[in-house]
Amino acid sequence: MIILDIQNVSKTYQSTGRTLTVLDNINFSVESGTTMSIVGPSGSGKTTLLGLCAGLDRSSTGSIQLHNVKLDDLSEDQRAQVRNQYVGFIFQNFQLMPTLTALENVMVPMELRGERKIKPIAMDLLEKVGLADRAHHYPAQLSGGEQQRVSLARAFSNKPRILFADEPTGSLDAETSEKVIDLIFGLNKEAGTTLVLVTHDNDLASKTKRIIRIKGGKIVADEPQAPTLKGEESQH
């Protein structure tokens, strides 16, 4: 099953009377349950592309279908509804709510869905990312790695069909990055979620089953590959 279908997508901005093309005629589709990375230098359009795929922004031309829902014609509220139903998103700068504790941050998507008895579920997710003892701390009291683990628990709290991650280790040191990467792939495999991540880190990209390379707003390569996940090296 195709969970994400991108057809002839472009994104342009008007800047001082000129048209700036950030993405130019992008085409690809993503199968449900797979892992994929979008790789490219800074300014290549990869973060813009991820935002379009997740319905955070609207494309200038073309069509984006997410879990059989066409995003192009939806209002902002309708797109938010689709995101809350099907999408998890991990941001490079965490995007936690500063006035809420770690536990409350994880509970927010479930509250928006009108779910009940969510506290134990949120605690279980925090336990999975090794933060049960930090549940009542605020983001300012947590390290960068801890904040990213909270955002990971939050991303999985609505049981997403697809998880988008934008430079998920971009703000973290090497050791913390490795822990967060292991958690992303571990939780992803356990939940059977589709993973699409943006990175300029080739080591991280090599852990996914497919790499799309983007440069100057265009796809320059689309490569299937055997991922190098911990404990899987011997299988490939």
Closest CA to 72 of 89, 55, 50: 55
Nearest to 65 by CA among 53, 48, 78, 51: 53
What's the pLDDT at 229?
A: 62
| CA 75, chain centre distance (Å) | 21
Residue 199 lies in a domain: yes
* Gyration radius of the chain over CA positions: 18
Is 232 contained in some domain?
no
Distance CA 123, CA 191 (A): 17
Alpha carbon distance 160, 166 (integer Å)? 16
Question: What pLDDT band is residue 118 in, cutting at 50, 70 and 90?
Answer: very high
Domains: count for the chain:
1
Residues of the domain holding 109: 2-224
| CATH number, position 204 | 3.40.50.300
10 located within any domain? yes
Per-residue confidence (pLDDT) for residue 230, from 0 to 100: 61
Percent of the chain with pLDDT over 90: 73
| 170 located within any domain | yes
Task: Give φ, ψ of 70 to 5 degrees.
Answer: -80, 115
pLDDT digits (tens, 9 = 90+) for 163-220: 999 999 888 888 888 888 998 999 888 989 999 999 988 889 999 999 999 999 999 9
Residue for token pair 């090599």: 206
Contact in structure between 66 and 7 (CB atoms under 8 Å): no
Against a cut of 0.95, is the pTM above it?
A: no
Q: How far is CA 231 from the centre of its chain?
A: 24
Helix segments in the chain, DSSP class H = 46-53, 76-86, 102-112, 119-128, 144-156, 174-191, 202-205
Q: Does the residue 74 lie in any domain? A: yes
